[in-house]
């Protein structure tokens, strides 16, 4: 089967609720233009092209206009206001799917705009055997522990992996894991929430293209469009495109 033409096996959550101003631009980085489109639009289009839907996008409070402009005309997109932390935003987005639950869900960070279809296919295939799956990459550099500013013991890089998103889960299992989470609300990712609930999480091959955009210089180097020293806001998209977005009320 062509990995770029998957059937509709899952829904998706895109986490785009951060303020993102540390990246150095005057608007949240997920809405900043990059390679001709808002950052968040790239992964939303990739998910829709792979047959994933609905796609619930967790956005900052008051970010409706930016999100509607950034995501206009992408089928199946819904918006929900996120929480104070990433984990809270994911929980709210999952709850927005709970009334008509999908079998599976992909949870992705908007700041990783390049989302290869092959990674989506590997994640969904891994869910046939495990309730969770995450994309990872090997560590190629030598690693060491630090004792202040002095080199400590060497770390075994063959046992370590770099973790990426999207992360894929059985929907009911990850929703229950988030509902039952009792740890700090700054949980690093959903795989940690899943493991705390006793879920087995498979590792699949990630992709170097899934880099996370973090700093303004990276946005510039990787194709963001600037106007003087300020990044332009996404162009407004009017007409029927906005109608395709459904605003979800969060409890």
Structural domains of the chain, with CATH: 11-248 (3.90.550.10)
Q: Record the tokens describing residue 152, joined without a space.
A: 């400590």
Residue linked to tokens 């590792």: 203
Contact assessment for residue 34 and residue 24, using Cβ atoms and an 8 Å cutoff: no
CA distance 77 to 56: 6
- The predicted model scores a pTM of 0.82
pLDDT (tens digit, 9 = 90+) per residue, 67-101?
999 999 999 999 999 999 999 999 999 999 999 99
**3-state SS, residue 63:** coil
Q: What are phi and psi of 77, to 5 degrees?
A: -80, 135
Query: Tell me: the pLDDT tens digits for 194-248?
Result: 999 999 999 999 999 999 997 555 555 554 443 333 334 444 443 333 223 444 4
Q: Tell me the pLDDT tens digit for each residue of 6-58.
A: 444 699 999 999 875 554 566 788 999 999 999 999 999 999 999 999 999 99
Say how many CA atoms lie within 13 Å of 207 toward its Cβ.
16
Q: Residue 154: which pLDDT band, with cuts at 50, 70 and 90?
A: confident
């Amino acid at each position: 089967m062509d990995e770029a033409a998957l059937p509709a096996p899952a829904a998706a959550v895109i986490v785009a609720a951060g303020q993102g101003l540390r990246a150095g631009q005057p608007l949240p980085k997920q809405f900043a233009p990059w390679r001709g489109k808002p950052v968040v639009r790239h992964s939303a289009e990739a998910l829709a092209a792979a047959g994933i839907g609905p796609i619930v996008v967790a956005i900052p409070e008051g970010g409706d206009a930016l999100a509607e402009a950034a995501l206009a005309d992408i089928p199946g997109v819904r918006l929900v206001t996120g929480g104070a932390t990433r984990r809270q935003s994911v929980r709210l987005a999952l709850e927005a799917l709970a009334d008509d639950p999908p079998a599976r869900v992909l949870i992705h960070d908007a700041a990783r705009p390049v989302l290869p279809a092959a990674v989506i296919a590997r994640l969904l295939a891994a869910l046939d055997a495990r309730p969770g799956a995450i994309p990872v990459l090997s560590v190629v550099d030598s690693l060491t522990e630090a004792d202040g500013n002095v080199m400590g013991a060497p770390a075994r890089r063959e046992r370590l992996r770099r973790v990426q998103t999207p992360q894929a889960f059985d929907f009911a299992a990850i929703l229950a894991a988030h509902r039952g989470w009792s740890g700090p609300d700054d949980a690093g990712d959903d795989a940690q929430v899943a493991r705390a609930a006793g879920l087995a999480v498979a590792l699949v091959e990630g992709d170097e293209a899934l880099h996370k955009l973090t700093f303004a210089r990276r946005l510039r180097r990787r194709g963001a469009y600037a106007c003087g020293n300020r990044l332009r806001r996404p162009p407004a998209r009017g007409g029927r495109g906005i109608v395709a977005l459904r605003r979800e009320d969060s409890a």
